[in-house]
Amino acid sequence: MGFLFSTRDWLLFLNGLNVWQGFLVYYIVFYGTLLALAKLDLIVFKFNVSDIQGTFGLLLVFFAIAATINWTNPYIQWVMTGSFSGATGIFYQAEDGVCWMLANQVLGIQDVEKARLVAFSVIPAIVAFIGLAMVKGKVKFNIASA
């Protein structure tokens, strides 16, 4: 996967997509990988989710985590350079970039610090709670062998 997804052609393909198209491609790959691992009955981090709803819930939890720890978003571009210009569109296609777009453009929060709080705190928290609700009772922890 790393070979394919780091090729020049793949990156140029992603750069030609808008934010939502790129995010959709990214999550199709991410979800497909999680679902394949679940269907193969492989254990990931000592837990296993083997149905579609649980896998989607787990994907939402991963989304929330990644949105808070990724540093490839327009806000980082602004902090580092004082401008949103010059950033590749791929910056907007990951979890944190999508959260930034939701806060800044969809919700219309223009104040950069308020948008940062909503994008990287409020939205991930809501997504995580939804994901956990979908996973509840579906994740099987194996504490005895941990």
Instruction: Give the range of the structural domain holding residue 35, as residue numbers without chain letter.
Output: 2-137
- Maximum alpha-carbon separation in the chain: 51
65-119: pLDDT as tens digits:
888 877 778 888 888 888 888 878 888 888 999 999 999 999 999 999 999 999 9
In a domain, 146, yes or no: no
Neighbour-count burial of 100, counting CB atoms closer than 10 A to its CB (0-12 exposed, 13-18 middle, 19+ buried): buried
The answer to whether residue 49 sits within a structural domain is: yes
Q: What pTM was computed for the model?
A: 0.72
80 in any annotated domain: yes
- pLDDT for 138 equals 58
Q: Which residue has the higher pLDDT, 17 or 54?
A: 17
Structurally, how many domains does the chain consist of?
A: 1
Residue 7 lies in a domain: yes
Mean pLDDT of the residues in the chain? 82
pLDDT digits (tens, 9 = 90+) for 125-139: 999 889 888 887 655
What pLDDT is recorded for position 143?
47
The percentage of the chain sitting over the pLDDT mark of 90, rounded to a whole number, equals 27
Secondary structure element (H or E) that encloses residue 10, with its range: helix 8-15
